[in-house]
Structure 1
Amino acid sequence: MQNENHWYIIVNPAAGNGEAKRLWPGIKSILTEAFPYASIVYSQYRDHALELVAEAVEAGFRKIMAVGGDGTNHEVANGILMQNTVPSTEITYVLFPVGTGNDWIKTHGIPKDTNQWLKMVHAGKTFQQDVGLLEYHQSGVSNLRYFVNVSGLA
């Protein structure tokens, strides 16, 4: 497949209370230089990243990058785990942190410094992530969501 070695980048402009949108021109320059064959798309509404992941995997992408924070990470992880095209273990995923909390990257020691982050990605160091599955009911409808860091209901 032609896309399997290229990155599919999902950008959440709303991440970090809009910080991602403000910083995006600089981030885009860095990422397009480091990953010249990447495809870039933008999430536009809640849960849009789930759809974007499914489309990417269906198109043959096996490397997915998200630009955002913990909320973006949650959506992309759910997209990877919910798609039915390939086993999730065949997908490499990395988060470029632009959020307010960034708890997930702190937990895994993922650098927030751009140069250190790029070195990590280019080194190809990966790990498998444990996930949880939460079943909840909303308006009488049963729903399932995966979580990779913490889970809570409001």
Structure 2
Amino acid sequence: MRDEGLNYGQMMERALRGVMAEALAEVAAKGLPGDHHFYITFASTHGAARLPDWLREKYPDQITIVIQHEYDGLEVEPEGFRVRLSFSNRMADLYVPFDAVLTFVDPSVEFGLKFDATEIEPPDETEVEVEADPAPNSSADVVSLDKFRKP
């Protein structure tokens, strides 16, 4: 049996997803401090992602959400978070698994994380594929974990 060694890339990805989860949990408990706000892009094709059909149809593949002004009910769970957001004055309840998140950006402090998309679960047969929403314009530094991954 061949020793695969330690997978530091996966360890770092889990740790950085933990940073995102902790930031969301703090905001859920205390609200957004100062100018902080989050742009979160996630794969709506992930098997555990939950969003209304009308929103999934509008954003096939992935969607970028903003947690800033019009959000409610932010709850952080061990595997993901729930939030209620307004999309053009239409409210939507979302569940976002942490492993569906592609990017997490807080432009107020130029902080950003980019996650590997290869671990995203394929959609099950009842789910609709969804299309890319352009990433927000931001001067935030995005940390890419690709250089730590094994080919």
| TM-score, normalised relative to structure 2 | 0.26
Which structure dedicates a bigger proportion of its chain to helix? 1
Which structure dedicates a bigger proportion of its chain to strand? 2
